[in-house]
Amino acid sequence: MTNCTRKLWVLNGSCTQLFNQINPIIQQYPGDWLAITSQVNLPEAIRNHIQPSQSKSLLGQEFKHAIFDATESFNLEAFAMLVGTLVKGSVLILFLPIDFSHWIDQDSLRWNESTTPIAVPNFVCHLQQTLSEFATEKPTMFTPLNDTQSDLTQQQSVLTQLLQSNSHLNLVIAKRGRGKSALAGLFTHHHDCWVTAPNKNALTTFYRFAKSSSLFYAPDQLIAMNDYAFPQWLIIDEAAMIPLPMLEQLMQIALAKQTKILLTTTVEGYEGTGQGFLLKLLDKHIVKRFYLSSPIRWQENDQLEQLCDKLLLNGIIDEDIKSRTNEHTISYSLTERDDIDTLKSVYYLLKIAHYQTTLVDLRRLFDAENLLVWQAKRADQLIAAAITIDEGGLSEELIDAVWKGLRRPKGNLVAQSLVAHAGDKLAAKLKSVRINRIAVIEPYRRQQIAKQLVAQIYQQAKKQNNDFVSVSFAYNDANYQFWRICGFTLVHIASHKQASSGSYSMIMIKPISKQGHELTQRLAQNLMRNGYWLNGIIDLPISQLVSVDEQQALTPQDYQDLQGFCNYHRPFEASYPSLCRLLKDNENNSKMPMPLLAALLQNKNSERSLIKQYQLTGRNELQLAIKQEVKRWLKNYQTVCQID
């Protein structure tokens, strides 16, 4: 069996040269030879190839032998997904550039806040260390595709336990390749089941083992079928990849119908939501948990899995972490950007403390520009960390384009949001520091450590002559209260819930300079005015968050927002409060006919019914028609002003 371990074979060179080099090998040794590459002109032997961005389509499938082309770009999630599909005896050929010393990674365009790709020295160092332990020169032989037998003893044992479970909520947790989907498929032969998953294509393995009559429904389909009778069991495969609010709603519906649930999930890997799945959702329920540790897609102690785990920093901190409140003082410091060991420790800490930490975060942590990493230690133990990103200082021309809705370049998340949604251009002109992540390990929470870390970040930002410190987060009361206690002021609330968290996004800032104070005051006052209208469309206790301003007369800022809405591309959501004030003013004074705007705002009419009623082609035509109504009103207003 030893020759069935999967292997990695590394080749250095140009993409074209390397594909030509392995062409005879592909023709000589049978296999799928799936290639993940950004190249399009490939040798005839490469019949099966996809772009790195399409790698999610591989979920639930199995392949023998593959090629991963990283000569120009190293997409870590795509690499992880590919490794998880390869069966025992497979060889993964990794293409790397000839010279790493001046290598520019095109993948950095996805996670670094810049329009040009950058060098990634920390990731290269980590990759080379990992490869030196595991990579093969050239496999001595490509094993024939005949050893397909797997030891299913553990899977059968867990299935027996599962069939005896009386719990309404059952969870099978395992790393990739452990047969979770196969187990769920076998389960359907014993009970009447429906199955759901992030996408049906990921259920290839499930259906190989399942009863053929097992019906599949997409998660949103099932939620829409609330009035239907559900079967005895609902199987949710790859549960951690379904957005948390959708998953929670799905579970509530099933449990209310007395339908038992079997969830299967991976909590390590590329999806990044596995920890949140355990931390945020399942803590609210009584769950019976089952674990699979024996691989069936490959053999125990597989070389490629070990390499992948090390490269992806799978696993969590092993040391026994205990709170030692009085033994040592806590030291707070900035991490050197080339201190790879500490950066790895910070990533581990974020994984166990934060609900959504992905491989993109790992790449960003290693090498992103404009990024600082803060750490808090007690003795030599890392107990807390924070990541900050420099923002602002944008040109007048770019800020104007962002305000008009014409451009939304990478980076400057808070600065651009305050321009695009809160309508204040100064937010992107001033220099600021955004706190991107902050986390404290469990035994040290509620000891003011995060608050002290924020204070250190604020003092550093002050030294660097920044105008304010900002944070954007998914609202819950604990988060909001923490930032308020740290001295931050709420300045913006998004009008829609985030798909990933199911919560409204908020922006809070803490001013430093005189201009920072003026900006904070102006944004906070604007939010108080807008809160009057947001109360009706947002499922949040607005009046507990801001002192709602009852004075709703139109202001110069409103006229500016309305001009931006009807003459440029400022979104309807960002213009909503100003449009509400316009309608109110029009009813009291101008009395101009504005039927579409009135129907949409006053009667809470859905866009769909309005489109049907007015025989419009769709949302774009409805928006254009409303813009025309606003334009006529503004033209009339300007005429009245000139007469006055």
Q: Give the span between the Cα atoms of 48 and 245, in whole angstroms.
A: 36
Q: Give the best-scoring range by mean pLDDT among 119-128, 222-231, 357-366, 375-384.
A: 119-128
Give me the domains of the chain, ranges plus CATH numbers. 2-134 (3.40.50.11040), 153-292 (3.40.50.300), 368-545 (3.40.630.30), 556-643 (1.20.120.890)
DSSP state of 136: B
Tell me which residue of 37, 4, 6 sits closest to 22, measured CA to CA: 37
% of residues, the chain, pLDDT over 70: 90
Q: Give the best-scoring range by mean pLDDT among 15-29, 115-129, 240-254, 435-449.
A: 115-129
- Using alpha carbons only, how large is the chain's radius of gyration in Å? 28
What pLDDT does residue 320 have? Answer: 47
Estimate the crossing angle of helix 595-602 against helix 619-643, to 10 degrees. Answer: 110
pLDDT band of 609, cuts 50, 70, 90: confident
Give the three-state DSSP class for 85: helix
pLDDT band of 304, cuts 50, 70, 90: very high
Span 27-33, average pLDDT: 90
For residue 636, pLDDT over 60 is answered with yes
Q: Which two tokens stand for residue 423?
A: 């309508």
Span 496-513, average pLDDT: 87
Beta bridge mates, 113: none
Q: What is the pLDDT of residues 94-152, one digit of tens each?
A: 999 999 888 999 999 999 988 899 999 999 999 999 999 886 666 656 666 555 566 77
Q: What is the pLDDT of residues 507-555, one digit of tens each?
A: 999 999 999 999 999 999 999 999 999 988 898 999 899 999 999 999 9
Beta bridge mates, 95: 11, 69
Q: What is the pLDDT of residues 553-593, one digit of tens each?
A: 999 999 999 999 999 999 999 999 999 999 999 988 878 89
Q: Give the span between the Cα atoms of 194 and 198, in whole angstroms.
A: 14
What pLDDT does residue 524 have? Answer: 97
What pLDDT does residue 643 have? Answer: 43
Strands 193-196 and 91-96: unpaired
Span 473-499, average pLDDT: 92
pLDDT band of 56, cuts 50, 70, 90: confident
DSSP state of 425: T
Q: What is the pTM of this model?
A: 0.87
For residue 187, pLDDT over 70 is answered with yes
What pLDDT does residue 326 have? Answer: 53
Q: Give the span between the Cα atoms of 33 and 142, in whole angstroms.
A: 12
Q: Which residue has the higher pLDDT, 617 or 2?
A: 617
Q: Give the span between the Cα atoms of 49 and 35, in whole angstroms.
A: 4
Q: Give the CA angle between residues 590, 594, 599 to the nearest 5°.
A: 130
Q: Which two tokens stand for residue 286?
A: 């009584």
For residue 317, pLDDT over 60 is answered with no
Least confident of 75-79, 157-161, 272-276, 354-358: 272-276
Least confident of 318-327, 328-337, 409-418: 318-327
What residue type is assigned to position 307 of the chain? L
Span 256-272, average pLDDT: 79
pLDDT band of 43, cuts 50, 70, 90: confident
What pLDDT does residue 189 have? Answer: 95
User: What strands, in cross-sheet order, belong to the sheet with 91-96?
Assistant: 7-12, 91-96, 66-69, 34-36, 49-50
For residue 280, pLDDT over 90 is answered with no
For residue 604, pLDDT over 90 is answered with no
What pLDDT does residue 2 have? Answer: 46
Average pLDDT of every residue of the chain: 89
Span 54-76, average pLDDT: 92
Give the three-state DSSP class for 440: strand
Evaluate whether 432 touches 388 at the Cβ level (below 8 Å): no
